[in-house]
Amino acid sequence: MIDQLNGASRLFPIIGDPVKHVQSPPWLTRTFAERGHNGICIPMEVPEGDLGVVMGGLTATPNVDGILVTMPHKFTAFEHCASSSERARMLGVVSVIRRNADGTWHGDMLDGLAFVKAQLDRGARIAGARALLVGAGGAGSAIAIALLEAGIGELIIHDADEARVAGLLELLAGFGNGRVTAGSPDPAGCDLVFNATPMGMDVGDPVPVDTTRLTPAMFVGDVISGHGTTAFVAAAQAHGCKTATGDHMVEAVQNLMADFMLGE
């Protein structure tokens, strides 16, 4: 399956905690191979407080060409980037990092683009639609921007942490043109219902929205990957909804990440 691992391999660690469920190690490694590049994506379990010391080690290792960033490091990793894309700066969040010519790091945020691509690939209509987005953290913020860029008609944002919602609304104020409001986890009246919280990572997690209010015309999308069909997606399917899982998002992001890492 992977035949390019050797002493000349370039490294692309994915840092997160937990990291066992991530799918990029085989997927991105295979995508590199398909492009004729000897790059290996490896899982690195990095506890929340240890990002600085791990980044120090990776920065000092010249055959580390790029880093994939997952929870809980997406906010803090931004601070390790000497340069970044505008969308990454807007959010203060990165999902991918690659080397600048001087060995410093350049960050970007591809999660929102990949999430929207996964929904479109699975049959969702975004333009003009009304969406409930639960989760105003790093992933939720990136998805909100990508949905607005894709022409969403109305975006309702909910998060148990109301200050997070207020902060995201403020961030989007000049961008959303009145299309964005705070709301409840009740999906009634929405065309699209999205989970961008960690709920679904652990067995027994509550579902992020009131699933009793789902209807068959709704399209449901989830960011949770590597956990099969989450309780949220299963409930949506039981209600007859079309769905996209976090695995679909991970699939969509592989080519975007390979493009970024190889500077293409």
Catalytic residues, which ones? 74
Residue 254 engages its own copies in binding (rule: CB under 8 A): no
Residue 99 engages its own copies in binding (rule: CB under 8 A): no
CA distance 189 to 134: 15
Is the Cβ of residue 6 or residue 177 nearer to its own copies in the bound state? 6
User: For its own copies, which stretch binds (CB under 8 A), given 59-67, 86-94, 134-142, 190-198?
Assistant: 59-67
Task: Provide the 10 A C-beta neighbour count for residue 27.
Answer: 18
Q: Considering CB under 8 A, how many residues would be counted as binding its own copies?
A: 38
- For residues 172 and 140, is the Cβ–Cβ distance under 8 A? no
Give φ, ψ of 34 to 5 degrees: -60, -25
Three-class HEC string of 91-160: HCCCCEEEECCCCCEEEECCHHHHHHHHHHHCCCCCECCEEEEECCCHHHHHHHHHHHHCCECEEEEECC
Residue 47 engages its own copies in binding (rule: CB under 8 A): yes
Residue 76 engages its own copies in binding (rule: CB under 8 A): no
User: Out of 34, 35, 39, 45, which residue is the one contacting its own copies (CB under 8 A)?
Assistant: 45
Asked if residue 72 has a cis previous peptide bond (ω within 30° of 0), the answer is yes
Is the Cβ of residue 61 or residue 181 nearer to its own copies in the bound state? 61
Residue 113 engages its own copies in binding (rule: CB under 8 A): no
User: For its own copies, which stretch binds (CB under 8 A), given 58-66, 92-100, 199-207, 241-249?
Assistant: 58-66
Residue 200 engages its own copies in binding (rule: CB under 8 A): no
Strands 180-182, 192-195: pairing is: unpaired
Residue 103 engages its own copies in binding (rule: CB under 8 A): no
User: Out of 31, 32, 39, 54, which residue is the one contacting its own copies (CB under 8 A)?
Assistant: 54
For the chain, the first-to-last Cα distance in angstroms comes to 24
Q: Compute the half-sphere exposure of residue 35: CA atoms within 13 Å on the CB side of its CA.
A: 18
Residue 50 engages its own copies in binding (rule: CB under 8 A): yes
Q: Which residues bind its own copies (CB under 8 A)?
A: 1-3, 5-9, 11, 14, 19-23, 25-26, 29, 40, 42-47, 50, 53-58, 60-64, 226
